[in-house]
Amino acid sequence: MSQFDFDLFTIGAGSGGVRASRFAAAFGARVAIAEERYFGGTCVNVGCIPKKLFSYAAHYREDFHHGAGYGWSSTAGEFDLARLIANKNREIERLNGVYRRLLDAAGVTVFDGRATLIDAHTVEINGAQRSARYILVATGSWPVKPAVPGAELAITSNEAFFLPALPRRVVVVGGGYIAVEFASIFNGMGAETTLVYRGARILRGFDHELGTVLAEEMIKKGVKIRLNANLAAIAPADGGLRATLADGAILEADCIMYATGRAPNTRKLGLETSGVTLTAKDAIAVDAYSQSTVASIYAIGDVTNRVNLTPVATAEGMAVANTLFNNRPTALDYENIPTAIFSNPNVATVGLSEETARLRCGAIDVYASRFRPLRHTLSGSDEQMFMKLVVERVSNRVVGAHMVGADAGEIIQGIAIAIKCGATKAQFDATIGIHPTAAEEFVTLREPRKARG
């Protein structure tokens, strides 16, 4: 009989924790999981799923307008945020139930409550201690606000999904993917929206052209973007809020949202007393197999601050289950992970940016196209799409693909398979395009830009 109550005790029932627990149980392990807040984690409750639903909602006003060019006379009526939130809540509750049922069906013991570490093999949950051969920390991350006077008056992405009414004027602070997504959402729903970012270009860390093109397209749609701008203070004003920038400029708003980053949920978990090493940014330091500095304690997902994406967390969870209970030590490959930004228009990318490719590959060729898609030849919109391939010259291998435009995520997902398989530009060229689609542009790009590498 085992000296431990469980073979695996998982703290956090988000996507990664649930995946690891389910499959560990399927491999024969005795598994328990604890969740203090909501099943499905950030993604299901205040992240990917509700954000995508809100993004869909924000497109309808524009779609109604575009329909006129196709013979439709209907126009968008009054937007009802309360109805959207009620419908969204109903779907999230359904998904919460799905996650719990998946765990029950797998035979995982579920604890509702906050679990903390006592030592390398013990957790405390609801006043009782439970022992485990292995402990998996999958507690995710949480939005943070900078130390700015009046920051408590602002919201984060968490609260944005539960607003009582649509604000008339919104200021979104930040320049990353969450910031541009919510700026697009508020703008699409009809709010006067201003994006304030301290940097010179939005989407820092992505291919430079993606930030440039997206900013231009968002401005066309009515979003005001203020770059090289720092928010210095927030104060109540005339029934709303007043944002003061570092240069003295004033922005009046009914809602100010910070989208300036997230921090790993590692505080008060007992990690330090258990001997687990944290990084300078309070993430759990792990090796290639998601093992912490304590042999029996593993960590996955945002709490490790590696690649903070839901599919990555689930893949890490699967890898841990295979490593510990399926005799298949698995280290995740973090190269060529595709990602999408559900701004309006969408952005998607896989592989190396042009800038990184120049450093890593030396001589490269860049193929790019910016064009008005067929849909907008009748809609009257001047929205443009942007597509780009980055090719390592010596091998002819496509090392990066980037896109701004409708359904970018749907298109780049397929391109990601080709890049993961090491496809060459010649193989892209030999592929017959589907006509007429925007996606065919990726296999019809023939002339590289003037060589610079």
132 contacts: CB under 8 Å, gap ≥ 6: 4, 5, 6, 7, 8, 9, 32, 121, 122, 123, 296
For 201-250, write each residue's pLDDT tens digit. 999 999 999 999 999 999 999 999 999 999 999 999 988 999 999 999 99
The pLDDT tens digits of the residues spanning 295-340 come to 999 999 999 999 999 999 999 999 999 999 999 999 999 999 999 9
pTM score of the predicted model: 0.96
Domains of the chain by range and CATH? 6-142+263-325 (3.50.50.60), 151-260 (3.50.50.60), 339-443 (3.30.390.30)
The confidence score (pLDDT) of residue 451 equals 58
pLDDT in tens, 134-171: 999 999 999 999 999 999 999 999 999 999 999 999 99
Question: What is the widest separation between alpha-carbon atoms in the chain?
Answer: 73
Do the bridges between strand 347-351 and strand 169-173 make them parallel or antiparallel, or are there none, so unpaired? Answer: unpaired
* Residues labelled as active-site residues: 435
Distances (CA, A) of 161 to 58, 62, 258, 396: 13, 21, 14, 45
The pair of three-digit structure tokens given for residue 138, joined into one six-digit string = 């999958």
Among 186, 183, 179, 184, smallest CA distance to 204 is for 179
pLDDT per residue as tens digits for the range 404-451: 999 999 999 999 999 999 999 999 999 999 999 999 999 999 999 975
Cα distances (Å, whole numbers) of residue 365 to 38, 360, 361, 439, 450: 47, 13, 10, 20, 8
**3-state secondary structure string across the chain:** CCCCCEEEEEECCEHHHHHHHHHHHHCCCCEEEEECCCCEHHHHHHCHHHHHHHHHHHHHHHHHHHHHHHCCCCCCCCCCHHHHHHHHHHHHHHHHHHHHHHHHHHCCEEEECCEEEEECCEEEECCEEEEEEEEEECCCEEECCCCCCCHHHCECHHHHCCCCCCCCEEEEECCCHHHHHHHHHHHHHCCEEEEECCCCCCCECECHHHHHHHHHHHHHCCCEEECCCCEEEEEEECCEEEEEECCCCEEEECEEEECCCEEECCCCCCCCCCCCCECCCCCECCCCCCECCCCCEEECHHHHCCCCCHHHHHHHHHHHHHHHHCCCCCCCCCCCCCEEECCCCCEEEEECCHHHHHHHHCCEEEEEEEECCCCHHHHCCCCCEEEEEEEECCCCEEEEEEEECCCHHHHHHHHHHHHHCCCEHHHHHHCCCCCCCCHHHHHCCCCCCCCCC
